[in-house]
Structure 1
Amino acid sequence: MLAQRISLLSGPGTAAAREAADAAAATGRHIIDLAAGEVMVEPPSSVREGAIAAIKAGTNRYTDSIGLMPLRKAIAKKLSAETGIAWNAEDIVVTAGAKQGLLDAALAVLDPGDEVIIIRPCWPTFPSQVLLAGAKPVFVDAQPPTYIPDIDAIRAAIGVHTKAIIVNSPNNPTGAVYDRATLQAIGDLAINYQMWIVSDECYSSFVFTGTRHESILMAHPGVRSRTILVNAFSKELAITGWRLGYFAAPREIISAAKKLQSHTTSNANVIAQHAILHHLQVGDGSFEREMHERLCRARDAGLLILSDLQEVATPGAGGSFFFYLDLSRLTSIQPAQSPVRSTDDIARLLLEESDVASVPGGTFGDVNGLRLSFGVSPDLLETGLKRVVETLNSLKTA
């Protein structure tokens, strides 16, 4: 008999879409994977060189549970430059990916019976980790086409048991980038109702609105004492499998994380820590700039292709590397006898008949959405999106 907590967790979600694509590819079909939450490029040479040097040096032992001090100093320097806010090593925890940072935050601040506001559509890890901590997710639905949350709706969701709010901008899956006024208003609510803010900024390197990423701490410096800023190197350096993230937080959260990590992972992978440290020491930012430029070109090309959709609005895709389609109009006009009535059906159709993998919105708590990644190579993106457009437009007259 399994523990009850396991029944609280959602299914694998995005991983399930990837597994379905892999299973189809295993039969010999050429699948264009637009489901993956990663950019398909090689990591920078500085990261690889740092890992190799650490291995050759015999770097095999435990580190401090919250990370190597030189790496924490380097991350603090990086974060200070990016946010314009002073950070030091004592504010930083190195984690085994952003997921561990988010779980640390949940376990550090939530008690059974607490409530956490989550803006939906959302990454399924958010509610799952809240449930693991014994707390209750309270969802606020952000509406298309912008998917920017309504502040009055957030305010209405706050109750006597509300302990925290999770902010994710740039957003996965919608690509929404929250404007300064929205971030400031969320900050005001957090102060007025004494809420923690958990700010997932893992897509901070990928903003395409003509401005730099703005953390909620930049928009509202007054929330620093109640904010846990979570980030990772997985996306920006194309090393999702290396599992190295970090968070910046008040000292009581740092102390809690030190206890938590000493009893879970002991420390993040030591080779990955040294690899990232080397990159931060010698990197000139060219890899990150080239990655952004590549994704900007992919976004522009993809939006042009998607503009040919007939019953689906062209997505905003202000940040992250996802196109998020609102298929509510398309599914609503399908005849009663149609085998395609939901976004799950559409994702299945795309995979089975068009050889394109996608992620249906139900994964993110939204029955109307479909997520497509533009992190693949330009030729595959063009082919894949043209197939998506052809398939969806064919449903209009099905």
Structure 2
Amino acid sequence: MSIPARRVETFGTTIFTEINNLAQQYNALNLGQGKPDFDAPGDVVGEMVKALQAGKYNQYAPGPGTPSLRKAVADHAARFYNLDIDPARGVIVTAGATEGVLSAVLGLVDPGDEVIVIEPFYDSYVPDIIMANARPVYVPLHPPTWTLDPDELRAAFSPRTRALLLNTPHNPSGRVFSREELTFIAELCIEHDVTVISDEVYEHLLFGSAQHIPIATLPGMFERTVTVSSSGKSFNATGWKVGWVYGHPDLLEGVARAHQFVTFAVHHPAQEAVAYALGLPDSYYQEFQAMYQAKLALLTDALDSSGLQYRVPEGTYFVMVNYARVFEGTPLEFTHHLIKEIGVACIPPESFYSQEHVAIVQGYARLSFCKNDDTLRQVKERLVKLQR
């Protein structure tokens, strides 16, 4: 009898699928998966329609991406971060950031290498490392401030360390890594000759005085960093699955070699629309942040009357809450309780930690506020029941 390959034997159904199904079954307001319940900007959608109807974008796109989108990605990096990216040799368009991270791992990490993973982590990171026959080495962020222990990070480096997976702004904690933190990470990576795979999909989701600093902009880091981002978060278009990886051409060559055999090419008309979107004026990004600032205020207002403790995020559209005052049990048990008895769905973060560190996240759950305002107001009405 045929059986699954050993490389996938530890991969179960993602927690997102499980919670989405449960939320639908109990008609819960779904603050679980980071999937907006409102549409992409109308003019961006219009560009997709025009591309579909133009008669020249419905066949395979060039494998590395369309010239227009690769140039738009390079122009965006120059505009916001003063980075000089070669659009022809320094940008690869991928099927979302998830594929971008996979292709980066497959193209830059050898079997037996070690990859440092900062916990809590996006759920695809570790399977990517396992499929590359490499070994994840875990370094946790510590609540309630979600910060690294410098000694723990330093101890994670070894002669076998090939790469470090970084995510800032950070999902699910909402942290935006400071220049001091990034400098410390960079110094260790330079000392140990380690490549950084930097997931920056929430680069435009910032609050208050938080500033996103790409680690590629730090001294000595451009030549050892590949940066991953996507259109899904910045343009409310998660269903388009258009992402990109950029960096030094020598590193991008490895990503490109893997990418061509993972998806080869990405949806052609969507690339034209995203190229347009990346060129939107500063006012779009300002209004985007203001919209999410208002949504964050609605959720924190709901949390203030719920008994749940939280730290206001510096970025992303997630809030980590501590439920210890209102519920005894594991995060998964709390999630089931919140869905079935309160009518609100969240994500238990146990699956974002290794078994050796999962105790750190006991008492926590993740809520997403990329939802319409009416939904977030209804959340307040339901969460107040936690106090009863």
- TM-score, normalised relative to structure 2: 0.92
Structure 1 residue 380 corresponds to structure 2 residue 369: no
Ranges in structure 1 where 5+ consecutive residues have no aligned partner: 335-340
Cα distance in 1, alignment partners of residues 94 and 67 from structure 2? 13
- Residue matched to 1:361: 349
Cα distance in 1, alignment partners of residues 64 and 37 from structure 2? 29
The equivalent position to 2:312 in structure 1, one of 292, 308, 316, is 316
Ranges in structure 2 where 5+ consecutive residues have no aligned partner: 354-360
- Residue matched to 1:337: none
CA deviation vs aligned residue, 1:13-56 (integer Å, no higher than 9, x gap) = 223212222233xxxx3x21111212332111222121111111
Structure 1 residue 289 corresponds to structure 2 residue 277: no
User: Given residue 14 of structure 2, which amino acid in structure 1 is its aligned partner?
Assistant: P
Shift of 1:309: 4.7
Cα distance in 2, alignment partners of residues 168 and 325 from structure 1? 20
Percent of aligned pairs with the same residue?
A: 28
Cα distance in 1, alignment partners of residues 157 and 145 from structure 2? 23
Shift of 1:214: 1.5
Flag the 1:228–1:328 CA change in 2: closer, same or farther, 3 A: farther
Does structure 1 retain, via aligned residues, the 8 Å contact 2:210–2:315?
Answer: no
The equivalent position to 2:222 in structure 1, one of 224, 245, 251, is 224
User: Given residue 93 of structure 1, which amino acid in structure 2 is its aligned partner?
Assistant: I
Does structure 2 retain, via aligned residues, the 8 Å contact 1:46–1:278?
Answer: no
Q: Which range is displaced more, 254-263 or 51-60?
A: 254-263
The equivalent position to 1:38 in structure 2, one of 8, 20, 35, is 35
Root mean square deviation, CA, Å: 1.8
Does structure 1 retain, via aligned residues, the 8 Å contact 2:335–2:365?
Answer: yes
- Residue matched to 1:53: 50
Cα distance in 1, alignment partners of residues 276 and 379 from structure 2? 37
SS in 1 for 2:234: coil
Does structure 1 retain, via aligned residues, the 8 Å contact 2:202–2:315?
Answer: yes
Cα distance in 2, alignment partners of residues 126 and 309 from structure 1? 33
SS in 2 for 1:172: coil
Cα distance in 2, alignment partners of residues 164 and 258 from structure 1? 17
- Residue matched to 1:78: 76
Does structure 1 retain, via aligned residues, the 8 Å contact 2:182–2:215?
Answer: yes
Structure 1 residue 202 corresponds to structure 2 residue 190: no
Flag the 1:45–1:308 CA change in 2: closer, same or farther, 3 A: closer
Does structure 1 retain, via aligned residues, the 8 Å contact 2:92–2:252?
Answer: yes
Shift of 1:329: 6.4
Cα distance in 1, alignment partners of residues 384 and 94 from structure 2? 40
SS in 2 for 1:202: coil
Shift of 1:169: 1.0
SS in 2 for 1:171: coil
SS in 2 for 1:209: coil
Does structure 2 retain, via aligned residues, the 8 Å contact 1:92–1:249?
Answer: yes
User: Given residue 22 of structure 1, which amino acid in structure 2 is its aligned partner?
Assistant: Q
User: Given residue 203 of structure 1, which amino acid in structure 2 is its aligned partner?
Assistant: Y
Flag the 1:193–1:86 CA change in 2: closer, same or farther, 3 A: same
Alignment of 1:89-168 (within 5 A): 89=87, 90-168=89-167
- TM-score, normalised relative to structure 1: 0.90
Cα distance in 2, alignment partners of residues 239 and 347 from structure 1? 27
Does structure 1 retain, via aligned residues, the 8 Å contact 2:173–2:318?
Answer: yes
Shift of 1:361: 1.5
Flag the 1:327–1:160 CA change in 2: closer, same or farther, 3 A: farther
Cα distance in 2, alignment partners of residues 234 and 300 from structure 1? 22
User: Given residue 156 of structure 1, which amino acid in structure 2 is its aligned partner?
Assistant: A
Cα distance in 1, alignment partners of residues 383 and 117 from structure 2? 30
Alignment of 1:246-265 (within 5 A): 246-265=244-263
Q: Which range is displaced more, 55-64 or 257-266?
A: 257-266
SS in 2 for 1:9: coil
Shift of 1:279: 2.9
Flag the 1:44–1:154 CA change in 2: closer, same or farther, 3 A: same
How many residues end up aligned between the 2 structures? Answer: 377
SS in 1 for 2:142: coil
Does structure 2 retain, via aligned residues, the 8 Å contact 1:10–1:124?
Answer: no
Does structure 2 retain, via aligned residues, the 8 Å contact 1:46–1:275?
Answer: no
- Residue matched to 2:385: 390
